[in-house]
């Protein structure tokens, strides 16, 4: 008995071709996959609650309906208290966009007038002029993108509504689907598959639920901090910070940009105060909240995390960045349990 480390060359070609075709297919149908991916994530989150109600004597369907009912009640209660505040701040923000645009142009013009009086080389001055024009163009474009993004939420109502429906059927058929999958697997390998699923479930639960709690906590604390310093739209901007906090490395930076932009249009001190609030809360998250809520690191190298985040952004935008690390965790577990087990399989001479 020897240990065979190199599969036949045509195995490699076939595996590479299948991976390439799969990636191309996923990229081609990425817009169709989006609601299914979100629904699968939602079903994964709700599955433990449904199983809890099943253990209490409810049917599978009854447990799902009861779970959905509890979520609807929570959303309604949150909506009664939070939605009017957020909606009011959003309306004020939309009305204030032209004023903020003018203020931004005035800031740029003031900077332009001051630096014109400074004696600097002509080539450097040309570069600064070009940079200012780019900033003005980007500012104008970004205002339009913000408005289109807000309106885009309403144009994607169908996707928003279909996600809970898809999640319902995924939850309802979860047990039967798992039984069918296990039935297709040889009995000798079922134990390994169950171990694989247990490890995958443990890592995803640790990551997804941990970071969801962190995001809610960070969003709430940031909103309170913005409110205390008198920043405009504190709860809306705090919500943005909380949402992007689930994205490692880039999330806090992306979430800080709107708060800084609103702050700088009020005053320099307000912008600095907003950054201080975010910095303090990020330190609290890194040194206190994260170690307590997430018991250990997910174990992915920082370079790999950055790569999968950029890849996710390229394929699916913000949704891709949110799903990038969970997908990477899944692939790592599959690599260790499936691919390495195949490459290192013992074969007869």
Closest CA to 251 of 287, 227, 281, 225: 281
Say if residues 299 and 307 touch (Cβ distance below 8 Å): no
Q: What is the pLDDT of residues 114-165, one digit of tens each?
A: 666 666 766 666 776 667 666 666 655 555 555 555 555 555 656 677 888 8
Name the token pair of 2: 């020897």
Q: What is the pLDDT of residues 212-230, one digit of tens each?
A: 888 888 999 999 999 999 8
pLDDT class of 62 with cuts at 50, 70, 90: very high
Q: Does 5 or 324 have the greater pLDDT score?
A: 324
- Give the dihedral of Cα atoms 234, 240, 242, 248; nearest 10 deg: -140
Q: What is the pLDDT of residues 64-109, one digit of tens each?
A: 999 999 999 988 887 777 777 767 776 676 666 666 667 666 666 6
Say if residues 22 and 15 touch (Cβ distance below 8 Å): no
pLDDT class of 349 with cuts at 50, 70, 90: very low
Hey, where are the domains in the chain? 47-184, 192-343
Residue 1: is its pLDDT beyond 50? no
Match 């950055």 to its residue by tokens: 306
Residue 8: is its pLDDT beyond 60? no
Residue 57's region, left for phi above 0, alpha for psi from -120 to 50, else beta, is left
Name the token pair of 246: 């689930």
CA 270/CA 49 separation, integer angstroms: 43
Q: What is the pLDDT of residues 226-247, one digit of tens each?
A: 999 988 888 888 888 888 887 7
Say if residues 40 and 168 touch (Cβ distance below 8 Å): no
């Amino acid at each position: 008995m020897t240990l065979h480390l190199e599969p036949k060359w045509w195995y490699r070609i076939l595996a590479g071709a299948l991976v390439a075709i799969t990636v191309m297919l996923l990229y081609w149908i990425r817009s169709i996959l989006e609601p299914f991916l979100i629904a699968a994530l939602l079903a994964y989150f709700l599955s433990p609650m449904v199983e809890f109600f099943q253990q209490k004597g409810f049917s599978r369907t009854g447990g799902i309906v009861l779970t959905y009912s509890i979520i609807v009640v929570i959303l309604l209660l949150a909506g009664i208290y939070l939605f009017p505040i957020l909606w009011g701040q959003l309306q004020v923000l939309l009305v204030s966009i032209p004023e903020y645009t003018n203020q931004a142009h005035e800031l740029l013009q003031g900077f332009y007038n001051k630096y014109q009086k400074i004696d600097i080389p002509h080539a450097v001055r040309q570069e600064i002029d070009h940079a200012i024009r780019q900033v003005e163009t980007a500012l104008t474009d970004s205002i339009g993108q913000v408005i289109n993004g807000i309106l885009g939420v309403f144009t994607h109502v169908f996707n928003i509504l279909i996600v809970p429906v898809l999640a319902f059927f995924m939850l309802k058929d979860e047990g039967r689907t798992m039984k069918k999958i296990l039935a297709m697997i040889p009995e000798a390998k079922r134990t390994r598959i169950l171990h694989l699923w247990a490890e995958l479930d443990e890592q995803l639960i640790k990551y997804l639920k941990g970071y969801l709690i962190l995001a809610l906590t960070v969003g709430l604390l940031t909103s309170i901090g913005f409110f205390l310093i008198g920043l405009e739209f504190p709860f809306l901007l705090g919500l943005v910070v909380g949402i992007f906090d689930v994205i490692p490395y880039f999330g806090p930076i992306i979430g800080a940009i709107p708060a800084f932009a609103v702050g700088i249009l009020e005053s320099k001190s307000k912008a600095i105060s907003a950054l201080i609030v975010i910095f303090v809360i990020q330190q609290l998250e890194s040194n206190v909240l994260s170690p307590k809520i997430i018991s250990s690191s997910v174990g992915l190298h920082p370079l790999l995390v950055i790569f999968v985040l950029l890849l996710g952004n390229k394929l699916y935008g913000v949704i891709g960045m949110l799903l990038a690390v969970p997908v990477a965790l899944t692939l790592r577990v599959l690599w260790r349990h499936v691919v390495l087990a195949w490459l290192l399989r013992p074969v007869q001479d």
